[in-house]
Every structure is written in structure tokens, then in C-alpha cells.
Structure 1
Amino acid sequence: MVILAALVVPAAVAVWLLSAGRSLTHRASNLLATTASAVTLVAVVAAVVVRPTVDRPWVPSLGLRWELAVDGISAPLLLLTALLTVAVVVHTTDRPPVGGTSAAFHACLLLVEFGALATFFARDAVLFFVAFEVVLVPMWVLITRYGDAHRPAERAGAGARFVLYTAFGSTLMLVGVLALVAKAGTSDLDVLARGGGHGIPGHTQAVIAALLVAGLAVKVPVFPVHTWLPPAHTTAPTAGSVLLAAVLLKMGTYGLVRLPLASVPEGFARVAPVLAVLGAVGILWGGLACLVERDLKRLVAYSSVAHMGFVVIGLASGTRTGLQAALFANVAHGIVSALLFVVVGGLKERWGDADLETSRAAVREVAPRLGFALVVGLAASLGLPGLIGFWGEFLSVYAAWSAEGRPLALFRTLAVVAAVGTVLAAAYALRVARVVWAGDRNVPLIADTRSSEWLVVAVLVVSTIGLGVVPGPLLALTGGAVASIVGAAP
């Protein structure tokens, strides 16, 4: 029942808001969405603790089932999704949306949560694909209808690019899923993982893995199919940017684990060097773009491309350490990107834009709480030890350096490239801190963070520091499931 509650509550409330609740005031719709997301969070926590399963026929003639479960791979992402949905809904308490009704806005947030949770719960490959696609429509609405009110043309362009890229990726992923199911004779992800591609010829595994990796690379996103992400982040509302960075991107990396890595490991091993190279290029590309980017929100978006490069390098290494690193970095990026987008979105509201070339008052002087949160987010983003961003990046570099079973010289070179990427991260983080936090004057004044915004910022700051100091619980949560997928690899 807890799995069903986690899915039915946000879906039912979203449908009601869209169909019968459109006349509600902002406060009423926000209260309803807050209640629904809080109940969903409780249900998700219960599901992670109890680990129940749902297994019912869906399309018996095709062997498809409603198969839902929780394991160490999905548990951190389920908790992250549920927690951040509560955070973004609470964050909008004092911020009525611009561009449409509050009811439709909150309905889109809940539908994104529903689709993401269904994706992480799914244990059927076709059900996984369907749930994955559910998220795209409400996210498109958030970008095109509730995005930056001052840039309608850019909103439309960002929305169109988002749809075109993700639809292309979905097509490749669907072909790969259907090929995998046809060759393996089952769509059960657990059965596929236990089989490990047994009975599927190596060259066929390679083709399937290439299709799945190419399709999911668009969702991650991996260089060079990342260009839809910065415009989407720049124009999306703060809540949309948080869910896009912290939830939607994680669905792509989660798909890489569930589908090619676990189901066709031999084929994935052949594709992995290419994926790792693209991840390393993304780290450098994102870091260099951040060094010259003028728009602060777009800069955070490019930093996401760089950080997801560490995730794919960890996955491509084929080691237990690499997979652990990727899963930890997934959660770390979700929390840090959420913190940065909440802070940057707040600054954009106060400034009227996010242009780094405009001279402004030092945030540390005029808004010290907001300034502290910005520094914590930047420090975590550059991988400073003691904060959550350090562990995923450090372990990914280590996994690439010791990636036995892969072209060792290539992966060690990529490890060096990734390490250079951390230097670039330090450079652009210090650039932002110098311009925004340190500043060069004390006027004009801006309001410091307070009420619902401060509550969300405080929770994210505590999470960033807490999991950085004590990473053990998260690593232990994923350890058993990682060993079952990768086996005895170090």
C-alpha cells in the first residue's frame, strides 16, 4: 500500500487541481500540494524502510506487468525526489506563479514527482519507459508557460528544444528497450539483471547497449547532446530548475544503471570507453563555459553538465567503486544543484536579472544568510572535502584510474582530465564568489532570505554538510545492490 500511496496521492491531487481546482487561490492550491507532497514523502520513507513489492498483470498477452519495488539503487533517488518536491512546493508558498493558474502550476510539480517516482519504482522495462515519458509533458509546461515572464521568445525556444531533444532520445531508448525485451524474452528488469545478457550474442548486446546509451545520454545529458539543458534552466521557474536538475537528470543516469549496465553488461563494456570519453569532454566543456558565462543561472546549468560527466565516468569504469561513486554523485548533485538554483533564483528575483557583468552590492553584506548558502553551494560544487560534492567526484576519479577490464591507459588519462575539471570548477566557483558574494560595494540593498525560502535553504545546507561529513549511511544504502549488479569487481 505504501508504494501505491506514493504514486496515487500526487497523481490524484494533480488531476483534481487540473480538472476541478483551477479556481483555487494560490494559498489554497499550495496548501493542498504541500499536504500531498508531505504524505508522499512519508509513504516513500515507509517504502524504503519496508521494501514492499507490487506485482500485477498489466498486458498479459505481451507478458507486461505492473511490477514495482525498492532496492539500494532506487532508494536514494526515491527519497531525493520526494524530499525535493516538498521543498519546491514549500518554496512557492510566498511566490505565486506567473503565466498561469497556481493550481495548474502545482499540478505540474506533482505530476513530475509522480512520473519520477514511478520510474524509480518500476521493475518492468516497458513500464519504466512509460513512466519516464510521463515527466516530460509537465516539465515542458513549467518551462514554456511558467518560465521567465520577460523572455517569452526564449521560453518558447527552450521548450521546443527540450521536446525535440528528449523525444529523439526517447525514440532511441524505446528501440533499445524493445530490442532488449525481444532478445531476452522478458521485460522484467530483475530477471534481465540476473541473466546479465546470457543467451544474447556479444555483437547484439553491443547494438542494444549503444541504442540505450545514446537515448539515455540525451536525458543525462552527456556532451554533445547537452545543448537543450542551459536554455531550459535559464528560462524555467526556480521550482522547475530544481526538479529538472535534481530529478530529471537522475532518471537518465538511473536508466543507464538499470538497462545497459545491468542487462547487457558485455555490450555496455564495449560502449563504455566512448561514454567515458564524452563524459570527460563534458567535464572540460562545462567548466570552460562556466568561466566565461555571464548569466548566473545558465552558469549553474553548465556546471551540471560537468558534474554529470563524473557520474558517467564512474558508471563507465565498470567497477563497484565506480557505480557507488556514480550513485553518490547523483544524490550529491541533486542536493547541491537544488541549493544553488534556489539561491540563484532568489537573487534573480531580487536583482531583476542574473547578469554577472552588472555591478551589484556584495551579498555577504546585504544578505548574509543568502550569501552563506551561496558559498556552501559553490564549495560543494567544486568538490571541497567535508561537503557532499567531494565523495562522488573523488571516487569517480579513483574508479577511472583503477578501471581494470577497460582500456586502462585511456581511463587513466580520463581520470587526469576529470581531475583537471575539478580545478576548473574551483576557478568558476571563485569567480562567482568574487563577483556576487564579495562584491565591491554595499548598495543597493536586497532583502535577505526568510520564511519559506529560508526553511528550504537551511534544509539543503544541512544536507550538503551532513552527507559530506558522514557519507557512510548513503554508501551503505547502495552497497548491497551495487555488489549484486557489478559482482566482485573492486
Structure 2
Amino acid sequence: MISWLVAALALPLVGAAVVAALPKSRLDAAKAVALAFSLVVLGVVVAGALAFDVADAGSYQFSEQVSWIPQLGASLAVGVDGIALSMVALTAVLVPVCLLASWRDLGPAAGGRVDAPFLALVLVLESLVIGVFVARDLFLFYVLFEVMLLPMYFLIGRYGGPRRRAASLTFLVYSLAGGLVMLAAVIGIYVAGPGGPDGFLLDNLAALETSTSTGRWLFLGLFVAFAVKAPLWPVHTWLPDAAAQAPPGAAVLLVGVLDKVGTFGMLTILLPLFPEASRWAAPAIICFALVSILYGAFVAMAQRDVMRLIAWTSISHFGFIVLGIFAMTTAGQSGSALYQVNHGFSTAALFLVAGMLATRRGSSLIADFGGGQRVMPLLAGAFFVAGLSSLALPGLSSFVSEFLVLVGTFERYPWAAVIATVGIVLAALYILWTYQRMMTGETVPELRDAEGAPRTRDMRPREALVVAPLLAVILALGFYPKPVLDIITPAVERTMEQTGMTDLDPLFVAEGSEG
């Protein structure tokens, strides 16, 4: 019987092939086929999630393994624990949302309109990203980690804004450079590992027995690749241009899903493989995370383009995710894993609503808006709720994850938690100030005709169908995150055990204990 994981990997590729085979004149049919396959994948993932044993969420389930390249010790091995399942579910939800959001056009700055290759690239990207999240063989993980760059490169380079070629090339160069460093580390890990036909299985590589210096060098090789992908300061500079030039749907997949591979790899691969090196590097990485939080927030406030602003806020949010991972506490890592999911939904809502607004105005510059809530109250309200989730307002999804990250960090590094809290204040400033400039005050003349009537329609039914599920998830996870935490926390506890870390007694934190 075919595992649902195999089906989730194969169905998007089948859908991409069907879409690519349709005549150019059958664009409506291609859209329907792409959306149908993405919804089938979502149904398969939902069925798999319902069959997932929550009581055993800390171990890998639905595992499959087929020999691939025995001479290298590589195999097609897949499986999911609670963290991987949450990321697969995030991907499966966002892909049909992005396809539906791109149904009519790709935004005012896009280099082309929706066509069959665009739809096929999105489906191929879905398959590759799901493959990365479920891969249990390091060589397979590396191959998918690199190959998934190609569909995103073409989504930006062919369908993006005026500077799409430069943005897509910068994205590819940064990612390939990080991938080359990772390749060297992967080779070193295989040489230091047990070898044999299963020499790349992650279960066989956990806690490699190497010299301290070798383990630290190998750790750094993987970390650099994951930091570029995350992105973490100072290797973050490719993201703002890539996200701003990409069509809104592609920007959602880039920031909401693909970039999560970096933080996912840190939590589920880097820490279990190199526990000693992870503990050794944690203080320095926490400093990098704090710079990302504050620098990303300050630069976001200076942005004139709303799409670039959202990209810079994501750099700040990724700093929180990395901070929680390397705080080495159960609360911090659980918060980080949950933050990956919550950030995906809140950022998706922000990018998509901003894209809808830019399509109506013909510009994504913040200064070209003003008084938008008077003529587009539903779109303004959706943007406001998504923005409040991004700044972690209590009752919305990001609050619980950000709170857990700060509590977990304070448990071991109180000074870092205090500094990171400043990022919350800055987030409130850049989100609320942006909303004030775009949606309040006098309505700009371009949004009204000579008689004062709105020049553009408010949210359309298709757009409501895109935004409503995202806002519903944001509210649901804000009030009741327990189902996701129940599957994430056991996997985090396993990682804590593998890294040899235990939670500190808060009574001793005040006395400066480092554990």
C-alpha cells in the first residue's frame, strides 16, 4: 500500500506534468487542474495527520525506505515526526491558497501573467519542499535542498517585477554558495560516519563520534547553509529583493515555506547530529539572532515599499525562531517550531493582501496609499488583522509562539530575552505606523473618481476565499494552539535529549546559572 507521504510527494509532480501537457489555449483548464491537485494533496496530508499517533509524536512515523545509490550509502528514506508534520501541513495549506490568489494576475509589477509553466513550477516546488521536510537521509535532504531552488528561481526570474533578474540571480548565488559549503560538510559527515549502505541515514548519524574540532567544523558547514536559507544576519541580504520582486503568491511560498527549511534543518538535523558543537556555538548564534531581530525591525520601519517592509519584518521574525532554537530549552524550541507555522500563515496573509492592494493602486509604495480603509474596508481590515498577528498581539497566532521563545530564552539567557523583547516594541511601531500611513487619514485622489466614489472594488469573492482561511487559522491558533503544540513538543523533547540539554530550574536563573 502506498504511504500517504509518497502520495503527497508524487501527486504534485503528476499535476505539474498534466498542466504542462495541456495546450496553451487551455489556461482555464490548467488552473483548474493545478488547484485540484493541490487540494487533493491537502486532503492526503489531512488524512495522514488524522492517522498520526499523537502519543508517539516524538518518533518518526509512516517511515519508508528504498535503496537509492548503495555505493554512496544513500537511500530514499522518508518519515515524519511532529515538527515535520506541522511543516508539511503548512505547505499543503499555502499552495492552493497561493494558486487561487494568482488566478487572475500576478500583481502590477509582475513580468508576466499567469500561465501553465507558472502553475507547474508551483506544484513542482510543493513536491520538493515536502520532500525536504520528510527526508530521513542526509544525502536525499541535500539533493532536495538544492533542487528546490530552481523552481523558485524561475518563479522570480520569469514572473517577478522590473528587477526580477537581479533578484533571482542574487537568490540563486547566495543559496548555491551556502549549498556548496553544505556539500563539503555532508561529505565530511559521511566520512566520519558509520558508512555502509545506510551511511547517510540520519538515525545512524545522530551524535557522530568525532573529535571536538572536526565536529565543530562540520557543524559550521551545515549551519552556514541553513543560515543563508533562513535567512539570518549577516547572510540575509538576498531576501528583501527576492520577496519584493516575486509575485505575491511566489513571495508567500518563498518566505512562508521555503525559508523555513533553514530553521527546520537547524532544529531537526543540526542539533541532533552535533550536540557538543551546538552547545558551543549557541551564545554566538544567539547574538546573530538578536541582531536579526533588531536590525530587521529598524530597517523595516525605513521601507517605502510595503512588500519590502514585509520581507524585512520576516528577517526579524526569523531571528526569534533561531533564538528559540539555540536557547536550548523545551519552551524555546517548542515556541520556535510553532513560530515557523504561525509565521507562515501571518506572512502569507500580509503578502497576499498587500498584493491585492497593490493591484488596485498599481503600486506597492506606501506613500501612494492613504485613507484606504474608506474605500476598501474589508481589505484594510484583513491587512490590519494580519499585521496584528505579525506583531504578536495576544489572541492571535504569533503571540503564543513568541511568548514561548522569550520564556524559554529567559530560562537560560535572561539578557538575550530582555534584548529580544525590544523587537516586540519595534514590531508594533512598524506595523501600526504602516497601517496608519496606508489606511487612515484623507483618501488619496487616485482611489476616488471626480464625484468622490471609489475607483476600485473592495475584496472580491475569490479574494475572500483566499484570505478567510488564513485569518481563520490565525485566530484559531491564537486562542487554541494546543493541537499543534501537542505534536511538536514530544519531538522537541527528543531533540533536547539528543543534545544533552535539560531545562533549568527558574529559581537558579536569577543567580546567573548557565546549566
Coarse TM-score class (shorter-chain normalised): over 0.9
Q: Which residue of 1 aligns with 2:436?
A: 434
State the 1:276 CA deviation. 1.1
CA distance in 1, matches of 2:23, 2:233: 40
Correspondence 1:457 to 2:448:
no
State the 1:53 CA deviation.
1.8
CA distance in 2, matches of 1:310, 1:56: 37
Where does residue 132 of structure 2 map in the other structure? 119
Matches within 5 A, 1:259-274: 259-274=269-284
Partner of 1:4: 6
Map Cα deviations across residues 106-155 of structure 1 (whole Å, 9 max, x no partner): 0110011011000011100010111112211110111011112xx1xx11
Matched-pair contact (CA < 8 Å) for 2:74–2:137: yes
The corresponding residue for 2:147 is 134
Say whether the 8 Å CA contact 1:260–1:267 is kept in structure 2: no
1:388 Cα deviation after fit: 0.7
Residue in structure 2 matching 1:176, options 167, 177, 185: 185
Offset from partner CA, 1:319-362 (integer Å, 9 cap, x none)? 1111101101101110000000001011111111111123x342
The amino acid of 1:306's aligned partner reads S
1:416-452 deviations in Å (ceiling 9; x for gaps): 2210011110110111111112232375233211122
SS at match of 1:353: coil
How far apart are 1:85 and its partner, in Å? 0.4
* Structure 1 residues 174-323: aligned runs within 5 Å: 174-185=183-194, 186-193=199-206, 196-197=207-208, 199-323=209-333
The residue identity in structure 2 corresponding to 1:26 is L
Q: 1:101 to 1:458 in 2, by over 3 A?
A: closer
Distance between the aligned counterparts of 2:466 and 2:190, measured in 1? 42
CA distance in 2, matches of 1:233, 1:113: 18
Distance 1:415 1:24 in 2: 56
From 50, 67, 92, the equivalent of 1:57 is 67
- For structure 2, which runs of at least 5 residues remain unmatched after alignment? 52-60, 448-453, 504-515
Q: Are the equivalent residues in 2 in contact too, given 1:339–1:460 (CA < 8 A)? A: yes
Identity %: 34
Query: Residue 41 of structure 1 contacts residue 82 of structure 1 at CA under 8 Å; is this kept in 2?
Result: yes
Q: List per-residue Cα deviations over 1:368-421 (Å, max 9, x = no partner).
A: 111111111111111111111112211111121112xxxxxxx32221221001
Q: Secondary structure at the match of 1:58?
A: strand
Q: For residue 107 of structure 1, what is the amino acid of its counterpart?
A: A
Aligned to 2:89: 79
- 2:121 corresponds in structure 1 to 108
Query: What CA distance in whole angstroms lies between the structure 2 residues aligned with 1:361 and 1:255?
Result: 41
Task: Please state whether the residue corresponding to 2:259 is helix, strand or coil.
Answer: helix
Listed as ranges, the gaps of 5+ residues in structure 1 are 404-410
> Alpha-carbon deviation of 1:100?
6.2
Q: Which residue identity does 1:250 align to in structure 2? A: K
Aligned pairs for 1:3-82 within 5 A: 3-18=5-20, 20-50=21-51, 51-82=61-92
Do the aligned partners of 2:370 and 2:437 also contact (CA within 8 Å) in 1? no
Q: Distance in 2 between matches of 1:237 and 1:354?
A: 12
Query: Is the CA contact (8 Å cut-off) linking 2:65 and 2:75 kept in structure 1?
Result: yes
What's 2:385 paired with?
376
| Contact map agreement 1:366 1:442 (CA 8 A) in 2 | no
Q: Distance in 1 between matches of 2:113 and 2:97?
A: 21
Q: CA deviation at 1:179?
A: 1.5
Given the alignment of the two structures, is residue 401 of structure 1 paired with residue 403 of structure 2, yes or no?
no
Query: 1:91 maps to which residue?
Result: 101
AA aligned opposite 2:62: P
Residue 157 (structure 2) aligns with? 144
Query: How far apart are 1:93 and its partner, in Å?
Result: 2.5
Aligned partner letter, 2:137: D
Residue matched to 2:58: none
Q: Match for 2:361 among 351, 354, 364?
A: 351
* 2:344 is equivalent to residue 334 of structure 1: yes
Look up the equivalent residue of 1:281 and give its one-letter code: V
1:21 shift after superposition: 2.4
User: Structure 1 residue 472: deviation in Å?
Assistant: 0.9
Amino acid of the residue matched to residue 178 of structure 2? Answer: G
CA contact under 8 A between 2:19 and 2:33: conserved in structure 1?
no
Shift of 1:181: 2.3
CA distance in 2, matches of 1:176, 1:259: 13
- 8 Å CA contact 1:223–1:279 kept in 2: the answer is yes
Q: Which amino acid aligns with 1:351?
A: R
What TM-score results when the alignment is normalised by the length of structure 2? Answer: 0.89
| SS of match in other structure, 1:402 | helix
The answer to whether the 8 Å contact 2:13/2:123 transfers is: yes
Deviations 1:249-285 (A, max 9, x none): 1111111122211111111111222211111101111
Q: Could you tell me whether the CA contact under 8 Å between 1:363 and 1:438 is conserved in 2? A: yes
- Which aligned pairs between 1:148-159 and structure 2 lie closer than 5 A? 148=161, 151=162, 154-159=163-168
> Which deviations, in whole Å up to 9, do the C-alpha atoms of 1:229-267 show, x marking residues without a partner?
000111100110010011111111111122211111111
Q: Aligned in 2, Cα 1:455/1:100: closer, same or farther, shift over 3 Å?
A: closer
CA distance in 2, matches of 1:392, 1:24: 46
User: Does the 8 A contact of 1:25 with 1:102 survive in 2?
Assistant: no
Kept after mapping to 2: 8 A contact 1:48/1:70: no
Displacement after TM superposition at 1:481 (Å): 1.2
Whole-angstrom distance in 2 between the partners of 1:47 and 1:191? 26
Contact kept in structure 1, 2:310 and 2:347, CA below 8 Å? yes
Letter in 2 for 1:29: A
CA separation of 1:24/1:261 partners in 2, compared to 1, >3 Å: closer, same or farther? farther
Separation in structure 1 between the aligned mates of residue 307 and residue 158 of structure 2, nearest angstrom: 18
Alignment CA distance shift 1:321-1:101 (3 Å): closer
Question: Cα distance, 1:24 vs. partner?
Answer: 4.4
* Whole-Å separation in 1 of the counterparts to 2:96 and 2:145: 20
Q: Distance in 2 between matches of 1:265 and 1:365?
A: 55
Distance 1:432 1:386 in 2: 21
Using the alignment, how far apart are the partners of 2:147 and 2:104 within structure 1?
28
Q: What is the distance in 2 between the residues matched to 1:412 and 1:249?
A: 28
1: CA distance between counterparts of 2:495 and 2:363?
Answer: 46
Q: Report how many aligned residue pairs link the two structures.
A: 474
- Relative to structure 1, the CA distance from residue 354 to residue 264 in structure 2 (aligned partners, 3 Å threshold; closer, same or farther) is same
